Amino acid sequence: MAIPAHDDSTAFQFHGSWREFAPIAFTNLLLSIVTLGIYRFWATTRTRNYLWSRTRFIDERLEWTGKGVELMIGFFIAIILFGIPVIMLKFGLQALALRGHVALAGILFFPLYGALLYIFGLARFRALRYRLSRTFWHGIRGGSENGGWGYGWSSIWKSVIGMFALGLLIPWSMVSLWNERWSAMSFGPHHFTSRAQSGPLMGRFLLFYLLPVAGCVALIGGVATAVATGVTATPGSASATGILFVVLGVIAGYFAIGVIMLAYYAAFFREAVGNLGLGGIDFNFSARTSDWLKLLLGDVVLVVCTLGIGVIFLTYRHWKFLITHLEAGGEIDLDTLTQSTAPLPKQGEGLLDAFDVGAF
Amino acid sequence: MPDSLDAWLYDGITARRQVVRATLVPGSIIVDGLAPIPIADLIDRGDDHRVVFGRKDESGWRLGFDQPLPPDWRAALPHPSRYGALIDRIGLVGAVIGGIAISALVLFGLWIAPQLIAPLVPPSVERKLGDAIVGDMGGQACVDPSGQAILDDLARRLSRKGDPLRVRVVDIPIPNAVALPGGQIALFNGIIQQAKSPDEVAGVLAHEIGHVDHRHVMAGLIRQFGFGLVLGGNSHAAEYADMLLSARYSRDAEREADAFAIQRLTANHISTRPTAEFFARLARHETTGNKRLDSAFSWLASHPVSQERRDAFNAADAKIVAKQPAISEADWKIVRAMCKSHHDDKR
Ligand SMILES: [Zn+2]
């Protein structure tokens, strides 16, 4: 079965509607509140059931088969695994330092911090593995034979290397971790291939370093203008213009950082998804910086205008964004797309379900 | 003649979709070419838009129908889960009411239980816990044997038998005093320097001893732990509940500590009026002159001084007979000088 190329219908389509989703979202919120939050694992499951079922790939929709109880068990495991290093970091080291063993506290800090990084990497890997193992298409699921133990180590040393050279290696570290993660995943009998490069991202990443320079130039320009106007205007209005410049400058600075981050992430996702393959299929992601900007501004408007209630629709919006911009081309042989032999993990994705994004 | 319908099948082995005929017989469904499948093994995986069944024992197996099921099929086959098995059984309204009731009970238990559990924690355990959390206060404690002896004697008089107390003066120029786990009480040097008489310090000290006597610190630790455990990482609603409950809880604890302080001051013939005046001075920010520092770190931050609390101390004063200062003028001078040598050491 070939994927219709450059048709007006792309391989991935989303058919959901927020009217259909609203009853799910509101009952989820209600039940989560009255159960002191315990229901949220089932809420996540119901949300995914809906979103997956309204997502069509070529001729058939996706199916989510995860269960609330799996997420709950995963969460408690994560609490224990994360909780021990965090409590030791927070209280143990503080107590040691207070009692004068500052050096010992310093020595212990690094292994504990490392343990935390390791568990975070492991959790990220396992979240992806769990999601793929619970996603069915044509009765076939995904997964990974890999437990992610090695990935945990990679996430430590690659994150550390990323910080070298004033953070210039961060794109490399992100891309390389993405490749490592996805290359370990499979769907049916096929392994994902992930060959993203960090080179194409460097241009946008360097904007982060350019920003302070641009800021200084703008500041000098602003001061110069203020001084120039101050010569003709009264002293009071000159200082008022100065304050206005500073306020506007700070706002512009924040906005600029936000836009650069978006531009970088947009490029990252295009590069990362664009170099992902599975069997005979190649994936692509079409969202540009402006699309991301629209998504985020839409999020803000939605949440602010509904006094916060709109938060329950964010998952829906983000999933819709993901699917509408996800494209695929190539060919699938349904007869050789056989059932995955990867083990079915028993627990869900733990703490990462709280962040929700970032699990891919 | 049994019913049969057109259906499609994914066998869960390959992705190929098969067109089949499905027949309903009592207790099972027959898909041509396959052994009869017991209905007990089926799960509904459909929704409003389509009719699909899966199997409990084979994760990828799907039997789907492109038309709505006839009523007798619908009645015989399993029903879809909506909110989750338990809630489907009791209904959404029942689940909400039940959820509210159980949550209220849990929160009530979390509020009440720590004060009941705290007295059961052995003092030795609490002491070790206190050591682990605060240690020796980072060498900030002012060591002065003569001043310490005077304070220990005052604390002994103000406490009840069996209160395991360790009072220390800490060289921090902020008007504050805290009760820590393990019966440790830290009097900040700021509170001693800004007090106009030893009776004021005695009042604050008696209040803190009240917290130790009522095991408030341990109860606070247990309560925090309990909330962290039950509500940890949960929704914002839970955080608000925690906040509201702690505020309510600490107001009760403050009232208990005040009552203890008034009772102990009265028993020792120490006037309670200076303490009330001290509260009033703190409230007027006439302490360090640094308002920001005061409001953030002073005793006031954890002890909002209400008119009601001040009135309680003032009212008690009339009933105290044969008043005498908490400590003598000479001893008071020694206590006020406790952190002098500490300062000199550092320089
Ligand atoms: Zn108090």
Q: Which residue has the tokens 């000199």?
A: B344
Same domain, B143 and B8: no
Q: What is the mean pLDDT of the segment spanning B253-276?
A: 90
pLDDT digits (tens, 9 = 90+) for B52-92: 999 988 888 999 998 888 888 888 888 877 777 778 888 88
| pLDDT tens digits for range B177-236 | 888 888 888 888 888 888 888 999 999 999 999 988 888 888 877 777 776 666 655 545
Range list of H helices, chain B: 71-76, 85-90, 92-117, 123-134, 145-158, 189-194, 198-213, 216-231, 236-267, 273-283, 291-297, 299-302, 307-317, 329-336, 340-346
Count of beta carbons in the 10 Å neighbourhood of residue B137: 16
Average pLDDT over residues A100-112: 75
The band of B322, judged by pLDDT with boundaries at 50, 70 and 90, is confident
Q: What per-residue confidence (pLDDT) applies to B2?
A: 53
The secondary structure element, H or E, covering residue A118 is: helix A102-133
Task: Check the CA dihedral B124-B127-B131-B136 and report its sign.
Answer: negative
Express each pLDDT in A252-270 by its tens digit.
Answer: 888 888 888 899 999 999 9
Whether B51 and B143 share a structural domain = no
Q: What is the pLDDT of residue B63?
A: 92
Q: Do residue B74 and residue B95 come from a single domain?
A: no
Would the CB atoms of B135 and A79 count as touching at under 8 Å? no
Complex ipTM value: 0.77
Whether B162 and B13 map to the same domain: the answer is no
The share of chain B scoring above pLDDT 90, in percent, equals 14
Q: Would the CB atoms of A139 and B237 count as touching at under 8 Å? A: no
Mean of pLDDT values over B111-117: 80
Residue A1 has pLDDT above 80, yes or no: no
Predicted local distance difference test score (pLDDT) of residue B139: 67
Q: Are residues B62 and B126 in the same domain?
A: no
How many domains does the structure of chain B reveal?
3
Average per-residue pLDDT for chain B: 80
Among A14, A127, A50, smallest CA distance to B83 is for A50
Of A292, A302, A286, A291, the C-alpha closest to A18 is: A302
Write down the pLDDT at residue B150: 92
Same domain, B195 and B94: no
* Average pLDDT estimate for A96-120: 76
pLDDT at A79 over 80: no
Q: What DSSP line would sit under A120-187, residue for residue?
A: HHHHHHHHHHHHHHTEEETTEEEE-S--SHHHHHHHHHHHHHHTHHHHTTHHHHHHHHHHHHHHT-EE
Query: Using CB atoms, which residue from B95, B102, B238 is nearest to A31?
Result: B95
Both B170 and B309 in a single domain? yes
Q: Is the pLDDT of residue A98 over 70?
A: no
pLDDT higher at B92 or B161: B92
How far apart CA B210 and CA B188 sit, in angstroms, is 18
CA distance A47 to chain B (A): 11
pLDDT at A360 over 50: no
Read off the tokens for B187.
């009097």
Better pLDDT: B163 or B318: B318
Closest-CA residue of B relative to A24 is B83
Strand partners for A283: A328
Residues of B with CB under 8 A from a CB of A: 10-17, 45, 47, 49, 54, 59-62, 83-84, 87, 92, 95-96, 99-100, 102-103, 106-107, 132-139, 230-235, 237-238, 241
Strands A186-187 and A63-64: unpaired
Give pLDDT, residue A10: 78
B135 shares a domain with B107: no
- On whether both B239 and B160 belong to a single domain, the answer is yes
Does B191 share its domain with B314? yes
Beta-bridge mates of residue A3: none
Domain of residue B101: give its range. Answer: 85-120
Distance A315 CA to ligand 1 centre (A): 45
pTM given for the model: 0.74
CA dist A6 and A137 (Å) reads: 23
Residues B174 and B33 in one domain: no
Same domain assignment for residues B94 and B143:
no
Listed in sequence order, the residues at least 6 apart from B287 whose beta carbon sits closer than 8 Å to its beta carbon are B175, B190, B194, B281, B294, B298
User: A124-164 pLDDT, tens per residue?
Assistant: 888 899 999 999 999 999 998 888 889 989 999 998 888 88
Whether A292 and A265 have beta carbons less than 8 Å apart is answered as: yes
- Residue B181 pLDDT: 80
B217 CA to centre of ligand 1 in angstroms? 10
Report the residue of A28, A30, A33, A334 to disrupt the B interface, i.e. the one with the largest count of B CBs within 10 Å: A33
